[in-house]
Amino acid sequence: MTGLAKALRSNIALATAAWGRLPRIARDGLKELTTRYALSVALGDVQFIDGRWYVTHAGLLRLANRDRCCGIRVVRLPKLCDPATRHWVFVATVYNSKGSKGFVGYGDADPSNVSSVVQGAEMRVAETRAVNRALRKAYGIGLCSVEELGSYSSSSGTTRGDEQSTKPHFQTGSNNGQPRLRDQLCHLIRQHNLDPTLVKAYAADFCGTETLKGASRDLVKSFISLIAASAKENRDGLVCKLNSYAQPQEARI
């Protein structure tokens, strides 16, 4: 089996474990993302939300690193910013090769267009959105990024950045005789000898919350499925992903 075929098989298996059986169009989309951009489900490069694929900030940065991006310049636009109302606007320029004139992307954020879990961090969200848009232009990725999504509801469910319709209940008891989610995650950590602190950090990032306790039950269930499948398919890759969370938060962007 070639490396590409193995990567595609792993991506489909992990995506199915995390989000359930994928429709044909979604599988074809994942195949394209795997073959053209080498994006990885295990490393959190993509998310499947409301039947659509979204690229993540981590995935875009990994792509830029693989392609030896020459640099990213990010500037705040003071005339368009209002600290009093927490409204921020940034412009990012990506130089994907030597001699590149740069690909420009703008990003804005304020309390009205960010999730409740990142209220107070609007400036960082705006910067990330600007970088994501510039990277997507530089590498020809038409998919919207997860971080560009605001809070919205849909008939088929909520996005990772949505305010949930129910209170988070990761800490609740078992359902239908099944082990609690916390117990399931602890079992996986012990079974595969994973670092619990790094797993919690990865979980919070996956769920888009400051802490794991702030995540909805459905997101935590998806994360547990992803960890289980990742550990089975490629434990070394999972450990590598977890180790990235040992770095200071600001260094990971």
Q: Which CATH number belongs to the domain containing residue 100 in this structure?
A: 3.30.160.20
Section 45-69 average pLDDT: 93
Higher pLDDT, 89 or 1: 89
Same domain membership, residue 174 and residue 136: no
Distance CA 9, CA 41 (A): 11
Residues 3 and 109 in one domain: no
- Integer Cα distance of 52 and 144 in angstroms: 10
Q: Identify residue 129 by its one-letter amino acid code.
A: R
Output phi, psi for 34, to 5 deg: -75, -45
Name the domain boundary from 129, 163, 197.
Answer: 163
- Are 91 and 13 in the same domain? no
**Residue 123 CB neighbours (<10 A):** 18
Tens of pLDDT, residue by residue over 69-127, are 999 999 999 999 999 999 999 999 999 999 999 999 999 999 988 887 788 889 999 99
What 3-state class would DSSP assign to 245? helix
Same domain membership, residue 149 and residue 244: no
Q: What's the pLDDT score for residue 183?
A: 81
Contact 217, 168 (CB under 8 A): yes
Q: How many domains does the chain divide into? A: 3
Q: What SS3 state is found at 104?
A: strand
Task: Check residue 38 and give its pLDDT.
Answer: 93
More confident residue, 187 or 34: 34
Q: Do 102 and 153 fall into the same domain?
A: yes
Domain of residue 105 covers 49-163
CB-based contacts of 194: which residues, under 8 Å, 6+ apart?
Answer: 188, 227, 231, 238, 239, 242
pLDDT in tens, 134-182: 999 999 998 999 999 875 333 333 443 333 332 333 443 444 444 578 8
Looking at the fold, whether 138 and 215 belong to one and the same domain comes out as: no
Q: Determine the average pLDDT of the residues in 36-49.
A: 91
Q: Which of 108, 131, 163 is a domain's end point?
A: 163
Of the three residues 135, 163, 191, the one that is the final residue of a domain is 163
* Residues in CB range of 153: below 8 A, 6 or more apart: 162, 165
